[in-house]
């Protein structure tokens, strides 16, 4: 059982640009990266309602109405971060702080929404040589690690490496190593406002990482972990309460 309501309502967002311009990506992910992920989540999370949205849609598919109906948003982006409208980023952030879960994927470490929530540059080191990534869990009792092999092996993947300019995470769940010897904090959690955030780095447009059953399982676990306790958005706001406001009336 997860933190939140059962049957989470999930929205998988993808910029969806590589699929349009790169035949290799289109062949690898014929339904788009978002389609592959959405299919997996629908299959793995009992009762989940899973939709998708992309950059090209009006308001990037992230209307106030769509977000209000979303328990957990997943975000994939890479070459079009700067095409995401600032106003929509603010809208998404408002929903996260009010309770919506957010799962940030791979190159979305550089998305406006992640940088804005972290407060750091989110820079990292990278190399694209198809190295083997070993994903080691260092929090074996964490629900995001449930059912994940130790290690999770990805035969070919882009290398992400430290320094990764993020705040010290609330929880460090996974550390990856790569064939070249670099390491990376590849699975980290944060709470910001009332929203739970999970960043998971494995996943790329150039490798079939999102077809990997263990990666799919991590994402499903992440969605369940990030599901809020309530479907209401309850942002923390400024109040000016009188003294003894919490006293019950006596009489």
Q: Site residues for a copy of itself, window 197-216 (CB under 8 A)? A: none
User: Residue 13 has which token pair?
Assistant: 């967002």
The DSSP bridge pattern shows strands 195-200 and 183-192 to be antiparallel
Shortest Cβ 31–a copy of itself spacing (Å): 28
Q: Hunting for tokens 């809020």 — which residue is that?
A: 228
> For a copy of itself, which is the closer residue by CB, 52 or 166?
166
Q: Indicate the pairing of strand 72-76 with strand 183-192.
A: unpaired
Asked whether the CA dihedral 64, 89, 37, 7 is positive or negative, the reply is negative
Q: Using the rule CB under 8 A, which residue among 90, 129, 211, 232 binds a copy of itself?
A: 129
Smaller CB separation from a copy of itself, 65 or 141:
141
**Residue the block writes with tokens 């929903």:** 95
Closest CA to 205 of 6, 17, 1, 12: 17
Q: Which of residues 90-119 bind a copy of itself (CB under 8 A)?
A: 97, 99, 116-119
Least separation in angstroms between residue 53's CB and a copy of itself is 23
Q: With binding defined as CB under 8 A, does residue 222 bind a copy of itself?
A: no
Q: Which residues pair with 127 in a beta bridge?
A: 159
19-78 binders of a copy of itself (CB under 8 A) = none
* Residues ≥6 apart with Cβ < 8 Å to 49: 7, 8, 9, 10
Q: How far is the CB of 26 from a copy of itself (least distance, A)?
A: 26
Q: Is 121 in the site for a copy of itself (CB under 8 A)?
A: yes
Binding status of residue 150 toward a copy of itself by CB under 8 A? yes
Residue among 20, 56, 64, 125 that touches a copy of itself (CB under 8 A): 125
Task: Say how far residue 240 (Cα) sits from the centre of its chain.
Answer: 35
Q: Segment near a copy of itself (CB under 8 A), from 53-61, 64-72, 202-210, 236-244? A: 236-244
CB of 54 to a copy of itself, least distance (A): 25
Facing residues of 7 across strands?
A: none
């Amino acid at each position: 059982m997860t933190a939140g309501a059962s049957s989470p309502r999930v929205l998988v967002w993808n910029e969806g640009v590589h699929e349009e311009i790169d035949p290799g990506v289109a062949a690898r992910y014929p339904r788009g990266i978002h389609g592959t992920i959405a299919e997996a989540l629908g299959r793995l999370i009992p009762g989940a309602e899973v939709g998708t949205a992309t950059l090209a849609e009006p308001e990037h598919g992230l209307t106030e109405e769509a977000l209000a109906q979303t328990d957990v948003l997943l975000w994939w982006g890479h070459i079009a971060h700067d095409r995401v409208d600032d106003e929509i980023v603010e809208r998404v952030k408002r929903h996260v702080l009010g309770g919506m879960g957010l799962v940030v994927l791979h190159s979305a470490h550089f998305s406006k929404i992640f940088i804005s929530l972290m407060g750091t540059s989110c820079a990292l080191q990278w190399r694209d040589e198809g190295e083997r990534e070993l994903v080691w869990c260092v929090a074996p009792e964490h629900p995001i690690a449930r059912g994940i092999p130790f290690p999770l092996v990805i035969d070919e993947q882009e290398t992400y490496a430290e320094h990764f300019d993020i705040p010290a995470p609330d929880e460090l769940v996974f550390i990856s190593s790569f064939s070249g010897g670099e390491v990376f904090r590849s699975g980290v959690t944060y709470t910001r406002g009332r929203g739970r955030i999970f960043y998971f780095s494995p996943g790329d447009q150039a490798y079939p990482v999102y077809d990997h059953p263990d990666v799919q399982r991590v994402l499903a676990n992440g969605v369940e972990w990030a599901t809020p306790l309530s479907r209401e958005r309850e942002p923390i706001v400024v109040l000016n309460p009188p003294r003894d406001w919490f006293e019950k009336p006596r009489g």
